[in-house]
Amino acid sequence: AQRVTQPEKLLSVFKGAPVELKCNYSYSGSPELFWYVQYSRQRLQLLLRHISRESIKGFTADLNKGETSFHLKKPFAQEEDSAMYYCALSDYGGSQGNLIFGKGTKLSVKP
Amino acid sequence: NAGVTQTPKFQVLKTGQSMTLQCAQDMNHEYMSWYRQDPGMGLRLIHYSVGAGITDQGEVPNGYNVSRSTTEDFPLRLLSAAPSQTSVYFCASSYRVGQGTPQYFGPGTRLTVT
């Protein structure tokens, strides 16, 4: 079954520290992986797509098909990075591109 | 472009009442969807549509109806509200169907059923 797992409900780091938000997925086909971010009481915003291989707001994420992971990383966390982060998976063929979300990780960056 | 808009922002219903959550997008997107967001559960897909006149069920469709008479609008109807439907509801859209493409989310509707 298709599944996205984010093992940490809450991740707390100090400003300037590195941060890694973990995401593992279960899917037998060729998934597309995303990271979405939700700042306090705002709508979800797309942060990264694995196919873009870009860095947004200092965040990067690499798809590791061998480990079925798509961890989100940033070398130096900022207070404004505090938010809820969701990893999501979309398949190409079966479900018309529907997104399957993990349960989310709340990142708290302390001053 | 206004993007994806949702009304109302907040709503309180009594058990058994019905209501419609509105969602509209002005980006000519083919694909639209509704999710509910609950603490510790992430976002779960309720219904989705791949074009006008076409809708399908997601993971948690029970108690909800949808229709897609135009490309722009995708309303979500609660037929007989229950406390278990207390949640934040997000509408989303993307410009094409068939491959994973980024979805753009509305601001959400916070619904409380008493």
Residue B11 pLDDT > 90: yes
Burial call A25-39: b when 16+ CB within 10 Å, e when fewer: bebeeebbbbbbbbe
Chain A residue numbers with beta carbons less than 8 Å from the beta carbon of B94 are: 97
What's the confidence (pLDDT) of residue A38? 95
Alpha helix segments (H runs only) across chain B = none
Angle, CA B107 vertex, CA A111 and CA B2 arms, to 5°:
115
What's the confidence (pLDDT) of residue B95? 84
The model's pLDDT over B71-86, given as tens digits with 9 standing for 90+, comes to: 999 999 999 999 999 9
* A97 with B40: Cβ contact below 8 A: no
- Cα-flanking dihedrals φ and ψ of residue A56, to 5°? -120, 125
A104: closest CA among A53, A50, A39, A60? A39
State the Cα–Cα distance between residues A91 and A66, nearest whole angstrom. Answer: 18
Residue A59, token pair as written in the block: 């965040």
Distance from CA of B66 to the nearest CA of A (A): 16
Mean pLDDT on A60-89: 94
State the Cα–Cα distance between residues B84 and B28, nearest whole angstrom. Answer: 33
C-alpha A47, offset from chain centre: 8
What's the confidence (pLDDT) of residue B19? 96
Chain B residue numbers with beta carbons less than 8 Å from the beta carbon of A21 are: none
What's the confidence (pLDDT) of residue A25? 94
